[in-house]
Chains A and B, each alone.
Chain A
Amino acid sequence: MTRLAGWGRYPVAESALVTVRSELELADATRKTAGVISRGLGRSYGDAAIGAATSLSTLQLNRFRAFDAATGLLTVEGGVSLAEIISALMPSGFFPAVVPGTRFVTVGGAIASDVHGKNHHRHGGFGDHVTEIKLATAAGDVLTLGADQNKDLFLATIGGMGLTGSILEATFRLRPIENGWIRQRTIVAENLAATIAAIEENDQSTYSVAWIDCLAKGSHLGRSLVYLGEHVAGDELGANHKSNRTPAIAQSRLGVPFDFPSFALNHWSVDVFNELYFRMGARKAGKPFLIKADPYFFPLDTIGNWNRIYGRRGFVQHQSVIPLKTAESVISELLDRISRRGDASFLAVLKKLGASNGLLSFPMPGYTLALDFPVSSGLFEFLDELDKIVIAAGGRLYLAKDSRQSRETFEASYPNAEKFRDIRRTVDPERRLQSFMARRLGL
């Protein structure tokens, strides 16, 4: 038995960790074990990748199967990470169509959470670019899923948190790029209204994200730095960048080697950090500049084990999406409550989202707000209050980040939950696939 946790290191639970090394081994283990779930790089924040009895580590199931440069279609085993894909194929001029905030996620995990990036409002989620999934079910079958075969199961598996079966292989489309650079433009927004206005005005931007200073109050509530981004066309690369068309991805030499003590992160230290961050970002406002793809898409990957900054008690992430109509006022209320509580969440991330297709996919047309909270007394009651606000507005929480929402909250916000259970019953009647999250939410 191993003590396993998600990226937030809360909760920690006991589960037998078994490594599978081939598709055959993964299919076998799925068929023979009860209380099992696949586990990739463990970047989901809560209990999604902790098997009720056994967790199957897919990290050795990491071979590339096929790549067609003419179509950009890549087939890989489920344990291949986006980091490996970028490392292998960016030099040839290809990049994943959708990437989340870290490149250390497996393809299986990216599909199971239907991850989204800074371009969801334009290009959808990871699942929207997947053409085929090879799934091993608890019943012992290996099924091919796609838009034209086993479509119901296909849409249940995208965003299905690994509960329909184990993903052996997947085929998805990469986008062609001319180089490894992004042209970034920073906009300083004085408050939430200005932030949303800036994002709306730049709707045609390929990538956009806002980093909100959630300690700002009053008329500055929701002040942020909005980062817009575009892939750089070949002929726009200046002379000094041309010699470095695909800059090497820096391996993080900077890492947090031990847990910070719990007093390290408090209202004052975070306040100082946010002020510095905001001013540094504001200095670059206005004129677009070139930035390497790696730090643009994955700013936190440069600091290894950054989750240790939150100390041994770990932290919880709250990521919600609020429908467009009331997004500004609801998010304003959320930010107001958070800044009044005074708890130390560094930065909140705000993005615009579009519709999604997986049965349990998180995105809906609206705005998503993501924040971290160190685990402390009173936190869970406070988050329950935030949940009520989100639900009342017709929003929901992101399962890949969730470690504590109640079953009632989940049922009230995911209308396809029952349909998902019906489909799951057809391929896993005994509910052998089971994570701690599935038990908590009654999936």
Chain B
Amino acid sequence: MTGISGSVLILGGLSDIGRATAMAFAAKGNRVQLAGRDMSLLQREAADMAIRTRQSVSVHEFDVLKTETFDHFIDSLPALPDVVICVIGILGDQATAEVDSACAARIMRTNFEGPALILDAFAERFLARGSGCIVGVSSVAGDRGRASNYVYGSAKAGFTAFLSGLRNRCATKGVHVATVKPGFVRTRMTEGMKLPAFLTAEPSQVGEAIARAVSAKRNVIYTLSIWRVIMAIVCAIPDGVFKKLKL
């Protein structure tokens, strides 16, 4: 399968999935732009990737909660990227979010509002240009809210619906929108959790899946793909039954 050429911007370049995605594209020869909050950690990643892949990687300061900085951020990029991938998200603590609305609001803004607004800003620019690819990393948790993580899950559900609508808006106008729904992934976010090995992906697997989804112009992908089946079953459970389950 031939990859795409052109530049790729990763929003959330310091996360495990962000780094793996950047490596997957850089290894294929794409120019990569990494965006995140900590410039010195970003530079550490860029130096590492440059040696491993012999591709130069540029770094840019970005905070998904600072909406007022978005226009300036996009203007400051060396060039409008061909692909923008948003991997930003926080799991947060469900128990705290249930009693502390500031905590809940932060989870919702970081997983839904912020990413939706920045991708919308890129969509405007891409549509004006007539080309581009937008990728939003959501989560299987957004497919159905459940007691153990619904503050996170509902934010991701909102993000999934947003991406679906954006895909609909952009479809005939040369801009592709892809939704990535990871299941369990072995990252900092899930560190310490006991995850069943056969259902858990490594960040590198998610990165490679995203690169493939971009070249093949997939609409919605699940990583690992078994999660599509699992969530179809989860979503089919009637509410009367689901509400009594301990999931």
A residues engaging B (CB < 8 A)?
A: 19, 21-22, 63-67, 84, 88-89, 92
Contact with A along B23-57 (1 / 0, CB 8 A): 00000000000000000010011011001101000
Q: Which residues of A contact B41 (CB under 8 A)?
A: 22
A84 to B204, CA, bound (A): 14
Q: Are B44 and A92 in contact (CB under 8 A)?
A: no
In the assembled complex, 11 residue pairs joining A and B whose CB atoms fall closer than 8 Å, in A order, are: A21-B188, A63-B45, A63-B47, A64-B47, A64-B48, A64-B51, A65-B47, A66-B47, A67-B51, A84-B52, A88-B52
Nearest A residue to B19, CB-CB: A63
Q: Which residues of B contact A84 (CB under 8 A)?
A: 52
Q: Are A19 and B51 in contact (CB under 8 A)?
A: no
Our pick among B47, B51, B191 for the contact of A88 (Cβ within 8 Å) is B51
Q: Are B51 and A66 in contact (CB under 8 A)?
A: yes
Q: Which residues of A contact B45 (CB under 8 A)?
A: 63
A84 to B51, CA, bound (A): 11
Q: Which residues of A contact B191 (CB under 8 A)?
A: 19
Q: Which residues of A contact B54 (CB under 8 A)?
A: 92
A93 to B52, CA, bound (A): 13
Closest beta carbon of chain A to B91's beta carbon, Å = 17
Nearest B residue to A84, CB-CB: B52
Our pick among A19, A63, A67 for the contact of B44 (Cβ within 8 Å) is A63
Nearest B residue to A92, CB-CB: B54
A66 to B188, CA, bound (A): 26
Closest beta carbon of chain B to A407's beta carbon, Å = 37
Q: Which residues of B contact A63 (CB under 8 A)?
A: 44-45, 47-48
B residues engaging A (CB < 8 A)?
A: 41, 44-45, 47-48, 51-52, 54, 188, 191
A19 to B54, CA, bound (A): 28
A247 to B48, CA, bound (A): 23
Q: Which residues of B contact A89 (CB under 8 A)?
A: 51
Closest beta carbon of chain A to B48's beta carbon, Å = 4
Q: Which residues of B contact A22 (CB under 8 A)?
A: 41, 44
A21 to B47, CA, bound (A): 16
Q: Which residues of B contact A67 (CB under 8 A)?
A: 51
Q: Which residues of B contact A66 (CB under 8 A)?
A: 47, 51
Nearest A residue to B188, CB-CB: A21
User: Interface centre among A63, A64, A65, by most B CB within 10 Å?
Assistant: A63
Closest beta carbon of chain B to A56's beta carbon, Å = 15
4 A-B pairs besides A65-B47, A66-B51 with CB distance below 8 A are A19-B191, A21-B188, A22-B41, A67-B51
Closest beta carbon of chain B to A343's beta carbon, Å = 35
A89 to B188, CA, bound (A): 28
A67 to B48, CA, bound (A): 10
Nearest A residue to B50, CB-CB: A64
Closest beta carbon of chain B to A46's beta carbon, Å = 28
Q: Which residues of B contact A92 (CB under 8 A)?
A: 54
Q: Which residues of B contact A88 (CB under 8 A)?
A: 51-52
User: Interface centre among B41, B44, B45, B48, by most A CB within 10 Å?
Assistant: B48
A386 to B171, CA, bound (A): 75
Closest beta carbon of chain A to B191's beta carbon, Å = 7
Nearest B residue to A23, CB-CB: B44
A246 to B5, CA, bound (A): 25
Closest beta carbon of chain B to A94's beta carbon, Å = 11
A64 to B49, CA, bound (A): 8
Q: Which residues of A contact B52 (CB under 8 A)?
A: 64, 84, 88
Q: Which residues of B contact A21 (CB under 8 A)?
A: 188
Q: Which residues of A contact B47 (CB under 8 A)?
A: 63-66
Q: Which residues of A contact B188 (CB under 8 A)?
A: 21
Which are the 3 A-B pairs with shortest beta-carbon distances?
Answer: A63-B48, A64-B51, A88-B52
Closest beta carbon of chain A to B185's beta carbon, Å = 15
Closest beta carbon of chain A to B198's beta carbon, Å = 13
A88 to B52, CA, bound (A): 5
A21 to B44, CA, bound (A): 12
Q: Which residues of A contact B44 (CB under 8 A)?
A: 22, 63
Nearest A residue to B53, CB-CB: A88
Nearest B residue to A80, CB-CB: B48
Q: Which residues of A contact B48 (CB under 8 A)?
A: 63-65
Nearest A residue to B44, CB-CB: A63
Q: Which residues of B contact A65 (CB under 8 A)?
A: 47-48
Closest beta carbon of chain B to A2's beta carbon, Å = 12
Closest beta carbon of chain A to B49's beta carbon, Å = 9
Nearest A residue to B41, CB-CB: A22
A19 to B187, CA, bound (A): 12
Nearest B residue to A88, CB-CB: B52
A64 to B23, CA, bound (A): 13
Closest beta carbon of chain A to B186's beta carbon, Å = 12
Nearest A residue to B52, CB-CB: A88
User: Interface centre among A21, A64, A65, by most B CB within 10 Å?
Assistant: A64
A84 to B45, CA, bound (A): 15
Nearest A residue to B46, CB-CB: A63
A381 to B37, CA, bound (A): 59
A63 to B50, CA, bound (A): 11
A19 to B186, CA, bound (A): 13
User: Interface centre among B47, B48, B51, B54, by most A CB within 10 Å?
Assistant: B51
Closest beta carbon of chain B to A73's beta carbon, Å = 12
A408 to B165, CA, bound (A): 74
A92 to B48, CA, bound (A): 16
A21 to B45, CA, bound (A): 12
A67 to B54, CA, bound (A): 11
A88 to B53, CA, bound (A): 7
